Amino acid sequence: MKAICTKFLGLALLTALPATLPAATHEVTVSIDAAQTGPVIDKDVYGQFAEHLGHGIYEGIWVGEDSAIPNTRGFRNDVVEALRAIRVPVVRWPGGCFADEYHWRDGIGPRDQRPVKVNTHWGGVEETNAFGTHEFFELVDLLGADAYVNGNIGSGTVREMAEWMEYMTSDKNSTLANERRKNGRDEPWEIAYFGIGNETWGCGGNMRPEYYADLYNQYATFLKAPPGKRPKLVASGIHGEITEWTDILSRNVSHDRMDGISHHYYTIPSGNWEKKGASTGFEESEWFSTMERAYRIDEYIRVNLEVLRKNDPDEEFGFYIDEWGTWYDPEPGREPGFLYQQNTLRDALIAALSFNIFHEHARRVTMTNIAQMVNVLQAMILTDKEKMVLTPTYHVYGMYKVFQDATSIPLEVRTGRYSMGELSVPAVTASAARGTDGKLYLALANLDPQNEAVVTVRLEGADADAAAGQLLTAAAMDARNTFDEPEALHPVAFEADLDEIELPPKSVVVVELQ
């Protein structure tokens, strides 16, 4: 996608007008040649992250078999059903920083004999280890998802990690494989991805990239799985605009030991970790800064892919964004270490603009994991005891699921800018693809909360003059679903002619071109 913007005009206006412009219409043109094909958008771009953090696992997913909340072998039925509906392709577990202190043996065997630890990172609460390796694989099985297991390089040993891999994947008559069988699982599990460390620049060990690259090689050497069963091995990269880790890892880790480098990026409205901004009740200036900061991931991906182009010209390494999303101030009255936050229409727009960016980099960005799946940060689902709500972000995942494994189609977007002060983002972002069902899909996000956009689609290489699908929008910037009003915000049916698709202010649309 190439965004051509009326930047010049936008800047000229900015000097003369107040920050919030009066209502106007963005005239946008999207040119698509359906005969052109780009890379496949890997379904794993729509992956999730589930950490032992707050109520991300306990209460949010796992309530135990004896709970009054309807469950299947301890897993909440409502949450599992809702997640199945958006076709979660892959789940990363057990952390995050939690993974850096996780010792897998604590989470196997009879539950009443598992050790109780302290979750030092997240609220200092007791970690019962009731949810461990077997429960994780049962969860992904219930969801129909693949497993992304994150190993502990920060405080674990090479032997511990190697033995976990053997426990999970061995089909032999070894003591470890037999221990797995004794604990109830006969067949080895399939692991799609295995992370060797998490945030090794910070909570995962405060390492230098050179040191971590050596450690990575050492740990990866001893991670053995049966032939054809080795997961994709993921190196822990850095965050934001930094490229040094991508550079050092891609030069110092051999291609047969690494399949991808992970990268993290959180959108914090203020850019200040001490006072990030509230999840609700914000002004337009904060809406804007959230869009503007989220949009930066495009540049951060670009500069890192530039490094990979140099060090890995054959494109063997993936670039995985295995933590991303919005991060606001803790909700008043809640345990700050639980990272529980509300989720509004603003988060829906952030999800859509991020997907449109990920699609553009689909060749290398083949997996991402939003942080996090339930009750933590930019969640799909919020729970309160037996109650559950689906967030606006959940609905965007539902609308975009047609892009899973779809073949991207390059497009050109001519749009004005949504501006504030000296900063601006494209008012409308878009992506197009041919779905696995053979249909043509277009996604559009109008980031401007004040002004509508009218999109003209110039389509070549396919015969269509109408668009039909779904629209997500609301009157308030912080519109949301609550436990009292769980259906306040949901997608509605949407139809338009291709030469005049009217996007309301602050809206997401996904349509089939017919």
Catalog residues that contact ligand AHR under the rule CB under 6 A: 51, 95-97, 198-199, 323, 371-372, 377
Got the DSSP string for 435-451?
-TTS-EEEEEEE--SS-
Rank residues 96 and 205 by Cβ distance to ligand AHR and give the closer one: 96
Rank residues 189 and 338 by Cβ distance to ligand AHR and give the closer one: 338
Q: Which two tokens stand for residue 218?
A: 């050492």
Strands (E) in 77-158, as ranges, are: 90-93, 117-119, 125-127, 146-151
Handedness of CA 71, 73, 75, 78 (dihedral sign): negative
Active site residue 323: yes
Q: CB of 433 within 8 A of CB of 406?
A: yes
Rank residues 52 and 76 by Cβ distance to ligand AHR and give the closer one: 52
Q: What's the closest the beta carbon of residue 96 comes to ligand AHR, in angstroms?
A: 3
- Cα–Cα dist 52/94, whole Å: 6
Rank residues 325 and 416 by Cβ distance to ligand AHR and give the closer one: 325
Smallest CA-to-CA distance from 506 within 139, 8, 26 is with: 26
Active site residue 199: yes
- Cα–Cα dist 247/47, whole Å: 25
Q: What's the closest the beta carbon of residue 122 comes to ligand AHR, in angstroms?
A: 8
Considering 101, 199, 286, 292, which one is annotated as catalytic? 199
Considering 101, 138, 163, 323, which one is annotated as catalytic? 323
Rank residues 150 and 446 by Cβ distance to ligand AHR and give the closer one: 150
Cβ atoms within 10 Å of 232's Cβ, excluding its own: 18
Q: What's the closest the beta carbon of residue 370 comes to ligand AHR, in angstroms?
A: 10
Q: What's the closest the beta carbon of residue 470 comes to ligand AHR, in angstroms?
A: 29
Q: What's the closest the beta carbon of residue 54 comes to ligand AHR, in angstroms?
A: 10
Q: What is the DSSP letter of 189?
A: P
Q: What is the DSSP letter of 78?
A: H
Q: What's the closest the beta carbon of residue 97 comes to ligand AHR, in angstroms?
A: 4
132: left (phi over 0), alpha (psi -120 to 50) or beta: beta
- Cα–Cα dist 365/317, whole Å: 10
What are the residues whose beta carbons fall under 8 Å from the beta carbon of 168, sequence distance 6 or more?
A: 133, 137, 149, 180, 188, 189, 191
Rank residues 195 and 469 by Cβ distance to ligand AHR and give the closer one: 195
Q: CB of 469 within 8 A of CB of 510?
A: yes
Q: What are the catalytic residues?
A: 199, 323
